[in-house]
Amino acid sequence: MFLSKLFLPITKNLPSDAKIKSHQLMLRAGMIKQSSAGIYSWLPLGLKVMKKIEQVVREEQNKIGAQELLMPTIQSADLWKESGRYNDYGEEMLRIKDRQGREMLYGPTNEELITDIFRSSIKSYKALPQMLYHIQWKFRDEIRPRFGVMRCREFFMKDAYSFDLNDTNAEISYNKMFFSYLKTFKRLGLQAIPMSADTGPIGGDLSHEFIILAETGESKIYADKNIFNINIENYDFEKESLKKMRTDYSSLYAVTDEKFEKKNFDKEVPKKNQVMTKGIEVGHIFYFGDKYSDPLNCFVDNQDGKKNSIKMGSYGIGVSRLVGAIIEAKYENEIMKWPKSVSPYDVVIIPSLSKNNIENLTKSIKIYQYLKKQNIDVLLDDVDESMSQKFKKHDLIGVPYQIIVGSNSTDTKFEFKEVNSASSILSLDEIKLKLKN
């Protein structure tokens, strides 16, 4: 992409409610535009990052055998009446009527709908276990939407659902997802800590929030500092190893606000290991057994030919929230710093175009075409601006690698720079290798 063609409405004007850095930087870099309270349009740069996050999430879900489908955003109220949640869910649910007067709603989550899909087709224990997920917009009429994409009314979420014959098998599904979440967040450049959490309107009695540390986070957390040292590389997908991982995590104190009790904290964690800080919830997993399958009559025949209600869990990741969360975790001063896995571009070429330097532009186009052929996602800054203006802009956008075509470059070697490190002079092949690694 040539920067002169990119729809990138960079702005200096920030609304007064843009209080945290991620919100400010996303608006400044033209990644999002608010359309009404807690509802945003995703502009090309913002959407590109979100799509990359979505893809990492999808790949990690597929790796544990979860299968992707797509449920609608609008649901019928009937299923929610069947589960008993229609009244309980309260004012966060956006309720609408169609032209026939039928009660509909914009889905805040999908436990009912997925249970209905499952019950209408799976009748035997032989088809178990199953894990299904989708990545879809949700709507929750939050009383105080704030912090940009962090607490929205409309947001993009990955929600997965597991179906098992009994509690023992369901725990295996829960552990797989638990492990998969740690890997997903690691690929996104984040260290997410699983914290024992409240289940709220989703229900059940086993639940973990995955929280990344950030001063601007809305979640208060209390933990034993040793939990930050667990290395997930030491575990693999064998059942026993996953069980051990869960046990290792569970043996260390780590809870959110709602579960915090000072006397337990002091009893279980020596003072020198106590961490009390704030974080951002980027994922949340739940085990609720037959809370939905029972009222919705979701049964399978078991080995003895008897009806067995399905044991279910649900597993959410805030895909749109992650865009802001990654910025909060990584930014320095006014600079967004994208991990390579989700950067909007792999590399940006910045030619010095002072005095209309056609030679530098021609060289840059050649580099651009070469990298494109190698499947490298490259941005070429062909805008006629001073180098200092260009660098300011690229600091803001945060692409991790730059190729600077100016006085330090020759016909075959170019200045290559990883943000925050010294530059080196490299050939195109060497640059390709660096980027491909």
Query: Among residues 324 and 339, whose Cβ is nearest to ligand 5CA?
Result: 324
Q: Least separation, in Å, of the C-beta of 212 and ligand 5CA?
A: 10
Residues 360, 364: Cα–Cα separation, whole Å: 6
Q: Least separation, in Å, of the C-beta of 210 and ligand 5CA?
A: 7
Query: Among residues 57 and 349, whose Cβ is nearest to ligand 5CA?
Result: 57
Pairing of strands 154-164, 192-196: unpaired
Query: Among residues 62 and 362, whose Cβ is nearest to ligand 5CA?
Result: 62
Q: Least separation, in Å, of the C-beta of 138 and ligand 5CA?
A: 7
Q: How far is CA 115 from CA 6, 17, 127, 295, in A?
A: 43, 40, 15, 10
What is the spatial order of strands in the sheet that 424-427 belongs to? Answer: 378-380, 347-351, 401-405, 413-418, 424-427
Q: Least separation, in Å, of the C-beta of 390 and ligand 5CA?
A: 33
Query: Among residues 171 and 209, whose Cβ is nearest to ligand 5CA?
Result: 209
Query: Among residues 91 and 236, whose Cβ is nearest to ligand 5CA?
Result: 91
Residues 171, 160: Cα–Cα separation, whole Å: 15
Query: Among residues 177 and 242, whose Cβ is nearest to ligand 5CA?
Result: 177
> If you write DSSP's letter for every residue of 295-328 in order, what string do you get?
TTT-EEE-TTS-EEEPEEEEEEEEHHHHHHHHHH
At residue 322, what is the residue type? L
Q: Least separation, in Å, of the C-beta of 88 and ligand 5CA?
A: 14
CA–chain centroid gap for 111, Å, is 20
Q: Least separation, in Å, of the C-beta of 181 and ligand 5CA?
A: 10
- By the 8 A CB rule, do 71 and 164 touch? no
Q: Which residues bind ligand 5CA (CB under 6 A)?
A: 109, 140, 142, 151-152, 155, 157, 159, 202, 281-284, 286, 314-316, 318, 321
Pairing of strands 130-139, 154-164: antiparallel
Closest by alpha carbon to 401, among 353, 367, 357? 367
SS3 call for 418: strand
- By the 8 A CB rule, do 45 and 31 touch? yes
Query: Among residues 152 and 326, whose Cβ is nearest to ligand 5CA?
Result: 152
Q: Least separation, in Å, of the C-beta of 172 and ligand 5CA?
A: 18
